[in-house]
Structure 1
Protein backbone atom coordinates (compact mmCIF):
# COMPACT_ATOMS: atom_id res chain seq x y z
CA UNK A 1 0.00 0.00 0.00
CA UNK A 2 1.41 3.37 -1.08
CA UNK A 3 1.40 5.84 1.82
CA UNK A 4 2.30 9.49 2.39
CA UNK A 5 2.33 12.14 5.08
CA UNK A 6 1.33 15.70 4.19
CA UNK A 7 2.94 18.66 5.97
CA UNK A 8 -0.38 20.33 6.76
CA UNK A 9 -1.21 23.81 8.01
CA UNK A 10 -4.88 23.99 7.03
CA UNK A 11 -4.12 26.76 4.53
CA UNK A 12 -4.80 26.98 0.81
CA UNK A 13 -1.57 25.38 -0.38
CA UNK A 14 -1.29 22.49 2.03
CA UNK A 15 -5.00 21.65 1.72
CA UNK A 16 -4.72 21.56 -2.06
CA UNK A 17 -1.76 19.23 -1.59
CA UNK A 18 -3.80 17.07 0.80
CA UNK A 19 -6.44 16.43 -1.85
CA UNK A 20 -3.72 15.99 -4.49
CA UNK A 21 -2.26 13.27 -2.28
CA UNK A 22 -5.62 11.60 -1.67
CA UNK A 23 -5.90 10.99 -5.42
CA UNK A 24 -2.46 9.38 -5.61
CA UNK A 25 -1.89 7.46 -2.38
CA UNK A 26 -3.79 4.64 -0.71
CA UNK A 27 -3.05 5.96 2.76
CA UNK A 28 -2.72 9.66 3.56
CA UNK A 29 -1.83 11.13 6.93
CA UNK A 30 -1.35 14.76 7.88
CA UNK A 31 1.01 16.35 10.36
CA UNK A 32 0.72 19.91 11.70
CA UNK A 33 2.94 21.98 13.99
CA UNK A 34 2.00 24.20 16.91
CA UNK A 35 4.66 26.89 17.27
CA UNK A 36 2.34 29.42 18.96
CA UNK A 37 1.81 31.16 15.65
CA UNK A 38 -0.25 34.33 15.43
CA UNK A 39 -2.73 32.54 13.17
CA UNK A 40 -3.05 29.52 15.47
CA UNK A 41 -6.65 29.07 14.37
CA UNK A 42 -5.09 27.33 11.35
CA UNK A 43 -4.56 24.29 13.57
CA UNK A 44 -8.31 24.08 14.24
CA UNK A 45 -8.94 24.40 10.51
CA UNK A 46 -6.44 21.64 9.85
CA UNK A 47 -8.08 19.37 12.43
CA UNK A 48 -11.58 20.08 11.09
CA UNK A 49 -10.57 19.38 7.49
CA UNK A 50 -8.86 16.13 8.42
CA UNK A 51 -11.84 14.96 10.46
CA UNK A 52 -14.31 15.88 7.72
CA UNK A 53 -12.34 14.17 4.95
CA UNK A 54 -11.17 11.15 6.94
CA UNK A 55 -7.44 11.84 7.24
CA UNK A 56 -5.44 10.81 10.30
CA UNK A 57 -4.07 14.02 11.82
CA UNK A 58 -1.21 14.61 14.24
CA UNK A 59 -0.20 17.94 15.80
CA UNK A 60 3.33 18.28 17.17
CA UNK A 61 4.43 20.85 19.75
CA UNK A 62 7.12 23.10 18.21
CA UNK A 63 7.03 25.95 20.72
CA UNK A 64 10.83 26.05 20.78
CA UNK A 65 10.69 27.49 17.25
CA UNK A 66 8.71 30.41 18.64
CA UNK A 67 11.43 31.11 21.20
CA UNK A 68 14.32 30.89 18.75
CA UNK A 69 12.90 32.73 15.74
CA UNK A 70 11.11 35.98 16.64
CA UNK A 71 9.06 37.26 13.72
CA UNK A 72 5.68 38.84 13.00
CA UNK A 73 3.95 35.45 12.88
CA UNK A 74 4.99 34.63 16.43
CA UNK A 75 5.05 38.08 18.04
CA UNK A 76 1.84 40.07 18.39
CA UNK A 77 3.82 43.27 19.02
CA UNK A 78 5.37 43.09 15.52
CA UNK A 79 3.41 44.35 12.54
CA UNK A 80 3.32 42.07 9.48
CA UNK A 81 5.35 43.44 6.55
CA UNK A 82 2.95 44.54 3.82
CA UNK A 83 5.57 43.78 1.18
CA UNK A 84 9.02 42.25 0.98
CA UNK A 85 11.86 44.61 1.93
CA UNK A 86 14.41 45.65 -0.69
CA UNK A 87 17.03 43.58 1.12
CA UNK A 88 16.54 40.44 3.16
CA UNK A 89 13.33 38.51 3.74
CA UNK A 90 9.89 39.66 5.00
CA UNK A 91 9.43 39.64 8.76
CA UNK A 92 6.89 36.84 8.28
CA UNK A 93 9.79 34.48 7.51
CA UNK A 94 10.22 31.97 10.34
CA UNK A 95 13.87 30.92 10.39
CA UNK A 96 14.30 27.18 9.84
CA UNK A 97 10.57 26.43 9.81
CA UNK A 98 10.37 24.26 6.69
CA UNK A 99 13.63 22.51 7.55
CA UNK A 100 12.26 21.57 10.95
CA UNK A 101 8.84 20.64 9.59
CA UNK A 102 10.36 18.32 7.00
CA UNK A 103 12.78 16.82 9.53
CA UNK A 104 10.10 16.02 12.08
CA UNK A 105 7.73 14.99 9.32
CA UNK A 106 10.38 12.54 8.11
CA UNK A 107 10.90 11.14 11.60
CA UNK A 108 7.15 10.64 11.88
CA UNK A 109 7.03 9.08 8.42
CA UNK A 110 9.82 6.59 9.05
CA UNK A 111 8.44 5.47 12.41
CA UNK A 112 5.09 4.86 10.70
CA UNK A 113 6.47 3.03 7.68
CA UNK A 114 5.89 5.91 5.25
CA UNK A 115 8.38 6.99 2.58
CA UNK A 116 6.51 9.76 0.77
CA UNK A 117 6.28 13.31 2.18
CA UNK A 118 4.14 16.01 0.54
CA UNK A 119 4.66 19.72 1.15
CA UNK A 120 3.02 22.79 -0.39
CA UNK A 121 6.07 25.02 -0.92
CA UNK A 122 6.29 26.99 -4.16
CA UNK A 123 9.25 28.72 -5.75
CA UNK A 124 6.86 30.65 -8.01
CA UNK A 125 5.13 32.37 -5.09
CA UNK A 126 7.76 31.97 -2.41
CA UNK A 127 7.70 35.60 -1.19
CA UNK A 128 11.47 35.66 -0.78
CA UNK A 129 11.50 32.69 1.62
CA UNK A 130 14.70 30.69 0.96
CA UNK A 131 13.22 27.47 2.36
CA UNK A 132 10.56 27.35 -0.37
CA UNK A 133 13.09 26.91 -3.17
CA UNK A 134 13.43 23.72 -5.19
CA UNK A 135 17.16 23.51 -4.47
CA UNK A 136 16.41 23.53 -0.72
CA UNK A 137 13.87 20.72 -1.05
CA UNK A 138 16.21 18.56 -3.14
CA UNK A 139 19.07 19.16 -0.70
CA UNK A 140 16.87 18.35 2.30
CA UNK A 141 15.61 15.18 0.62
CA UNK A 142 19.18 13.94 0.18
CA UNK A 143 20.14 14.92 3.72
CA UNK A 144 17.15 13.16 5.30
CA UNK A 145 17.84 10.01 3.30
CA UNK A 146 21.44 9.99 4.49
CA UNK A 147 20.61 10.94 8.08
CA UNK A 148 18.06 8.15 8.53
CA UNK A 149 19.29 5.64 5.95
CA UNK A 150 15.82 5.63 4.43
CA UNK A 151 14.49 6.33 0.94
CA UNK A 152 12.22 9.34 1.48
CA UNK A 153 10.62 11.03 -1.52
CA UNK A 154 9.55 14.65 -0.99
CA UNK A 155 6.76 15.74 -3.33
CA UNK A 156 6.13 19.42 -4.10
CA UNK A 157 3.00 19.61 -6.31
CA UNK A 158 2.97 23.43 -6.24
CA UNK A 159 6.67 24.11 -6.76
CA UNK A 160 6.43 25.52 -10.28
CA UNK A 161 2.91 26.98 -10.25
CA UNK A 162 1.61 30.33 -8.98
CA UNK A 163 -1.51 31.08 -6.93
CA UNK A 164 -3.77 31.29 -9.97
CA UNK A 165 -2.62 27.84 -11.07
CA UNK A 166 -3.04 26.55 -7.52
CA UNK A 167 -6.71 27.57 -7.64
CA UNK A 168 -6.95 25.86 -11.01
CA UNK A 169 -5.50 22.67 -9.52
CA UNK A 170 -8.00 22.81 -6.64
CA UNK A 171 -10.82 23.13 -9.17
CA UNK A 172 -9.51 20.16 -11.16
CA UNK A 173 -9.43 18.16 -7.93
CA UNK A 174 -13.06 19.10 -7.30
CA UNK A 175 -12.34 21.02 -4.08
CA UNK A 176 -12.41 24.67 -5.13
CA UNK A 177 -15.18 25.53 -2.66
CA UNK A 178 -13.43 23.61 0.12
CA UNK A 179 -10.25 25.61 -0.40
CA UNK A 180 -12.11 28.91 -0.67
CA UNK A 181 -14.34 28.49 2.38
CA UNK A 182 -12.69 26.04 4.79
CA UNK A 183 -8.99 26.92 4.74
CA UNK A 184 -7.04 29.59 6.61
CA UNK A 185 -4.23 31.42 4.82
CA UNK A 186 -4.60 34.79 6.54
CA UNK A 187 -1.75 35.90 8.82
CA UNK A 188 -4.37 37.54 11.05
CA UNK A 189 -6.29 34.30 11.54
CA UNK A 190 -9.45 34.90 9.49
CA UNK A 191 -10.88 31.79 7.78
CA UNK A 192 -11.86 31.77 4.12
CA UNK A 193 -11.35 35.07 2.33
CA UNK A 194 -9.32 36.33 5.28
CA UNK A 195 -8.72 39.87 6.47
CA UNK A 196 -8.07 41.05 2.92
CA UNK A 197 -5.13 43.20 4.01
CA UNK A 198 -2.15 40.99 4.86
CA UNK A 199 0.25 39.79 2.12
CA UNK A 200 -1.08 36.23 2.31
CA UNK A 201 -4.65 37.39 1.72
CA UNK A 202 -3.67 39.68 -1.13
CA UNK A 203 -1.74 36.91 -2.90
CA UNK A 204 -4.59 34.45 -2.40
CA UNK A 205 -7.26 36.88 -3.62
CA UNK A 206 -5.24 37.95 -6.65
CA UNK A 207 -4.76 34.34 -7.72
CA UNK A 208 -8.45 33.57 -7.25
CA UNK A 209 -9.57 36.56 -9.28
CA UNK A 210 -7.15 35.70 -12.07
CA UNK A 211 -8.42 32.13 -12.18
CA UNK A 212 -12.08 33.21 -12.18
CA UNK A 213 -11.35 35.44 -15.17
CA UNK A 214 -9.88 32.64 -17.29
CA UNK A 215 -12.48 30.12 -16.10
CA UNK A 216 -15.30 32.28 -17.40
Structure 2
Protein backbone atom coordinates (compact mmCIF):
# COMPACT_ATOMS: atom_id res chain seq x y z
CA UNK A 1 0.00 0.00 0.00
CA UNK A 2 1.27 3.46 -0.93
CA UNK A 3 1.66 5.39 2.32
CA UNK A 4 3.11 8.55 0.75
CA UNK A 5 0.14 9.79 -1.28
CA UNK A 6 -3.44 10.73 -0.40
CA UNK A 7 -6.52 12.16 -2.06
CA UNK A 8 -8.71 14.57 -0.09
CA UNK A 9 -12.41 15.04 -0.81
CA UNK A 10 -12.31 18.82 -0.86
CA UNK A 11 -15.30 21.16 -0.85
CA UNK A 12 -13.53 24.36 0.18
CA UNK A 13 -15.40 24.39 3.48
CA UNK A 14 -14.16 24.40 7.06
CA UNK A 15 -13.98 20.65 7.59
CA UNK A 16 -12.40 19.62 4.30
CA UNK A 17 -9.89 22.49 4.44
CA UNK A 18 -8.82 21.40 7.91
CA UNK A 19 -8.44 17.86 6.59
CA UNK A 20 -6.43 19.11 3.61
CA UNK A 21 -3.79 20.67 5.86
CA UNK A 22 -3.93 17.68 8.20
CA UNK A 23 -3.06 15.54 5.17
CA UNK A 24 -0.28 17.87 4.01
CA UNK A 25 1.50 17.27 7.32
CA UNK A 26 1.33 13.49 6.92
CA UNK A 27 1.77 12.71 3.23
CA UNK A 28 4.42 13.66 0.71
CA UNK A 29 1.84 14.15 -2.04
CA UNK A 30 -1.73 15.36 -1.53
CA UNK A 31 -4.30 15.77 -4.29
CA UNK A 32 -7.63 17.52 -3.71
CA UNK A 33 -10.79 16.52 -5.57
CA UNK A 34 -13.94 18.66 -5.59
CA UNK A 35 -17.34 18.08 -7.18
CA UNK A 36 -19.57 20.32 -9.24
CA UNK A 37 -23.17 19.17 -8.85
CA UNK A 38 -24.73 22.56 -9.65
CA UNK A 39 -24.92 23.24 -5.94
CA UNK A 40 -26.55 26.48 -4.84
CA UNK A 41 -23.43 27.37 -2.86
CA UNK A 42 -21.22 26.92 -5.93
CA UNK A 43 -18.84 29.63 -4.76
CA UNK A 44 -17.33 26.88 -2.59
CA UNK A 45 -15.58 25.59 -5.71
CA UNK A 46 -13.91 28.98 -6.20
CA UNK A 47 -12.76 28.85 -2.58
CA UNK A 48 -11.42 25.34 -3.14
CA UNK A 49 -9.52 26.40 -6.26
CA UNK A 50 -8.07 29.47 -4.54
CA UNK A 51 -6.89 27.55 -1.46
CA UNK A 52 -5.26 24.84 -3.57
CA UNK A 53 -3.55 27.33 -5.87
CA UNK A 54 -2.25 29.37 -2.92
CA UNK A 55 -0.84 26.31 -1.18
CA UNK A 56 0.42 24.39 -4.22
CA UNK A 57 -2.03 21.50 -4.01
CA UNK A 58 -2.98 19.65 -7.19
CA UNK A 59 -6.72 20.17 -7.60
CA UNK A 60 -9.37 18.53 -9.75
CA UNK A 61 -13.08 19.34 -10.10
CA UNK A 62 -15.25 16.44 -11.27
CA UNK A 63 -18.63 16.92 -12.93
CA UNK A 64 -21.43 15.29 -10.96
CA UNK A 65 -24.35 17.25 -12.42
CA UNK A 66 -26.52 14.14 -12.52
CA UNK A 67 -26.74 14.29 -8.71
CA UNK A 68 -28.53 17.63 -9.01
CA UNK A 69 -31.09 16.07 -11.33
CA UNK A 70 -31.63 13.02 -9.14
CA UNK A 71 -31.74 14.65 -5.70
CA UNK A 72 -33.61 17.97 -5.60
CA UNK A 73 -33.20 19.63 -2.20
CA UNK A 74 -32.40 22.95 -0.57
CA UNK A 75 -28.74 22.80 -1.61
CA UNK A 76 -29.54 22.27 -5.29
CA UNK A 77 -32.71 24.31 -5.81
CA UNK A 78 -33.07 28.08 -5.54
CA UNK A 79 -36.78 27.81 -4.70
CA UNK A 80 -36.23 25.55 -1.65
CA UNK A 81 -35.10 27.29 1.51
CA UNK A 82 -32.75 25.52 3.87
CA UNK A 83 -34.39 24.25 7.06
CA UNK A 84 -33.25 26.41 9.97
CA UNK A 85 -34.10 23.72 12.51
CA UNK A 86 -33.65 19.97 12.36
CA UNK A 87 -36.90 18.11 11.58
CA UNK A 88 -38.45 15.94 14.28
CA UNK A 89 -38.35 12.98 11.91
CA UNK A 90 -36.28 12.13 8.87
CA UNK A 91 -33.31 14.00 7.42
CA UNK A 92 -32.95 17.79 6.97
CA UNK A 93 -33.89 19.14 3.56
CA UNK A 94 -30.20 20.03 3.08
CA UNK A 95 -29.32 16.33 2.95
CA UNK A 96 -28.35 15.33 -0.60
CA UNK A 97 -29.23 11.67 -1.12
CA UNK A 98 -26.17 9.65 -2.09
CA UNK A 99 -23.74 12.58 -2.07
CA UNK A 100 -20.97 11.12 0.09
CA UNK A 101 -21.53 7.69 -1.41
CA UNK A 102 -20.95 9.08 -4.90
CA UNK A 103 -18.17 11.45 -3.91
CA UNK A 104 -16.15 8.71 -2.24
CA UNK A 105 -16.83 6.23 -5.05
CA UNK A 106 -15.62 8.61 -7.74
CA UNK A 107 -12.63 9.65 -5.64
CA UNK A 108 -11.77 5.97 -5.19
CA UNK A 109 -11.81 5.46 -8.97
CA UNK A 110 -9.66 8.59 -9.35
CA UNK A 111 -7.24 7.36 -6.67
CA UNK A 112 -6.84 3.88 -8.13
CA UNK A 113 -5.85 5.28 -11.53
CA UNK A 114 -2.99 7.07 -9.77
CA UNK A 115 -2.04 4.10 -7.58
CA UNK A 116 -3.15 5.94 -4.43
CA UNK A 117 -4.72 3.97 -1.59
CA UNK A 118 -5.54 6.64 0.99
CA UNK A 119 -8.69 8.77 0.78
CA UNK A 120 -9.40 11.47 3.33
CA UNK A 121 -12.82 12.98 4.01
CA UNK A 122 -14.06 15.46 6.60
CA UNK A 123 -17.23 13.73 7.74
CA UNK A 124 -18.02 13.74 11.45
CA UNK A 125 -20.42 11.65 13.48
CA UNK A 126 -20.13 14.14 16.34
CA UNK A 127 -21.81 16.94 14.38
CA UNK A 128 -23.35 15.04 11.47
CA UNK A 129 -26.58 17.08 11.54
CA UNK A 130 -28.76 14.06 10.87
CA UNK A 131 -26.90 13.05 7.70
CA UNK A 132 -26.67 9.23 7.63
CA UNK A 133 -23.71 9.28 5.22
CA UNK A 134 -21.50 11.03 7.78
CA UNK A 135 -21.55 8.12 10.20
CA UNK A 136 -18.57 5.92 10.96
CA UNK A 137 -20.51 2.73 10.17
CA UNK A 138 -21.22 4.03 6.66
CA UNK A 139 -17.58 4.94 6.01
CA UNK A 140 -16.33 1.54 7.23
CA UNK A 141 -18.95 -0.25 5.14
CA UNK A 142 -18.11 1.72 2.01
CA UNK A 143 -14.39 1.17 2.56
CA UNK A 144 -14.97 -2.58 2.41
CA UNK A 145 -17.33 -2.26 -0.57
CA UNK A 146 -14.92 -0.15 -2.64
CA UNK A 147 -12.04 -2.53 -1.92
CA UNK A 148 -14.15 -5.50 -2.99
CA UNK A 149 -15.63 -3.71 -6.00
CA UNK A 150 -12.27 -2.75 -7.50
CA UNK A 151 -9.99 -5.46 -6.15
CA UNK A 152 -7.79 -2.70 -4.77
CA UNK A 153 -7.09 -1.83 -1.17
CA UNK A 154 -8.46 1.54 -0.03
CA UNK A 155 -8.03 3.21 3.33
CA UNK A 156 -10.60 5.93 4.03
CA UNK A 157 -9.41 8.22 6.80
CA UNK A 158 -11.79 10.47 8.75
CA UNK A 159 -9.74 12.81 10.99
CA UNK A 160 -12.84 14.62 12.25
CA UNK A 161 -15.10 11.63 12.87
CA UNK A 162 -15.08 11.71 16.67
CA UNK A 163 -14.48 15.42 17.38
CA UNK A 164 -16.94 18.29 17.62
CA UNK A 165 -16.78 21.63 15.82
CA UNK A 166 -14.86 23.35 18.62
CA UNK A 167 -12.23 20.63 18.44
CA UNK A 168 -12.14 21.00 14.65
CA UNK A 169 -11.32 24.69 15.13
CA UNK A 170 -8.62 23.64 17.59
CA UNK A 171 -7.17 21.26 15.01
CA UNK A 172 -6.97 24.10 12.49
CA UNK A 173 -5.28 26.25 15.10
CA UNK A 174 -2.80 23.49 15.98
CA UNK A 175 -2.02 23.10 12.27
CA UNK A 176 -1.34 26.84 12.01
CA UNK A 177 -4.16 27.44 9.52
CA UNK A 178 -6.85 29.00 11.71
CA UNK A 179 -6.94 32.25 9.73
CA UNK A 180 -7.16 30.38 6.43
CA UNK A 181 -10.08 28.31 7.65
CA UNK A 182 -11.79 31.29 9.25
CA UNK A 183 -11.44 33.73 6.34
CA UNK A 184 -11.04 31.75 3.14
CA UNK A 185 -13.47 28.83 3.43
CA UNK A 186 -17.16 28.57 2.57
CA UNK A 187 -19.35 26.45 4.83
CA UNK A 188 -22.61 28.42 4.45
CA UNK A 189 -25.49 26.64 2.71
CA UNK A 190 -26.51 30.00 1.24
CA UNK A 191 -23.14 30.47 -0.42
CA UNK A 192 -21.57 33.26 1.65
CA UNK A 193 -17.84 33.01 2.35
CA UNK A 194 -16.17 33.17 5.77
CA UNK A 195 -18.74 33.78 8.54
CA UNK A 196 -21.60 33.10 6.11
CA UNK A 197 -25.25 34.07 6.48
CA UNK A 198 -25.26 33.26 10.19
CA UNK A 199 -28.68 31.63 9.95
CA UNK A 200 -28.42 28.29 8.17
CA UNK A 201 -27.55 25.16 10.21
CA UNK A 202 -24.01 25.04 8.81
CA UNK A 203 -23.34 28.63 9.86
CA UNK A 204 -24.83 28.10 13.31
CA UNK A 205 -22.71 24.98 13.85
CA UNK A 206 -19.58 26.77 12.66
CA UNK A 207 -20.22 29.88 14.78
CA UNK A 208 -21.15 27.99 17.95
CA UNK A 209 -18.12 25.77 17.55
CA UNK A 210 -15.84 28.77 17.16
CA UNK A 211 -17.24 30.44 20.27
CA UNK A 212 -16.74 27.23 22.26
CA UNK A 213 -13.21 26.91 20.84
CA UNK A 214 -12.33 30.45 21.97
CA UNK A 215 -13.77 29.80 25.42
CA UNK A 216 -12.12 26.41 25.93
CA UNK A 217 -8.82 26.66 24.09
CA UNK A 218 -7.83 30.34 23.76
CA UNK A 219 -7.51 31.17 27.43
Task: Give me the TM-score of the superposition, normalised by structure 1.
Answer: 0.99
The whole-number CA distance in structure 2 between the counterparts of 1:7 and 1:25 is 15
Alignment partner of 1:79: what SS?
Answer: coil
Shift of 1:113: 1.2
User: Secondary structure, in 3 states, of the residue corresponding to 2:44?
Assistant: helix
Aligned to 2:83: 81
Separation in structure 2 between the aligned mates of residue 82 and residue 198 of structure 1, nearest angstrom: 5
Residue 19 (structure 2) pairs with residue 17 (structure 1):
yes
Gaps of 5+ in 1: none
Give the structure 1 partner of residue 167 of structure 2.
165
In 2: Cα distance, 1:22 partner to 1:206 partner: 27
Q: Structure 1 residue 150: deviation in Å?
A: 0.6
**Using the alignment, how far apart are the partners of 2:137 and 2:185 within structure 1?**
28
Q: Which residue of 2 aligns with 1:156?
A: 158
TM-score (norm 2): 0.98
3-state DSSP of counterpart to 1:124: coil
Using the TM superposition, give the Cα deviation of residue 84 of structure 1 relative to its aligned residue in structure 2, in angstroms.
Answer: 1.1
CA distance in 2, matches of 1:21, 1:83: 33
- 2:199 is aligned to 197
Q: Cα deviation per residue 1:45-77 (whole Å; 9 max; x = unaligned)?
A: 000000000000000000000000010000010
4+ residue runs over 2 A deviation = none
Distance in 2 between the 1:62 and 1:151 partners? 24
1:85-129 residue CA offsets vs partner (Å, 9 max, x unmatched):
000000000000000000000000000111000000000000000
Q: Secondary structure at the match of 2:6?
A: strand
2:136 aligns with 134
Match status 1:62 vs 2:64 = yes
64-73 or 1-10, which moves further after superposition?
Answer: 1-10
Instruction: Name the structure 1 match of 2:41.
Output: 39
* Alignment partners' CA distance in 2, 1:32 and 1:112: 16
Q: Encode CA deviations 1:152-171: one digit per residue, 9 max, x unaligned.
A: 00000000001000000000
RMSD: 0.6
Map of 1:96 onto structure 2 = 98
**What is the aligned counterpart of 1:187 among 163, 177, 189?**
189
* 3-state SS of 1:81 partner: coil
Secondary structure in structure 2 of the residue aligned to 1:58: strand
How many residue pairs match? The answer is 216
Q: 1:45 and 1:175 mapped to 2: Cα distance? A: 15
| Runs (5+) with no aligned partner, structure 2 | none
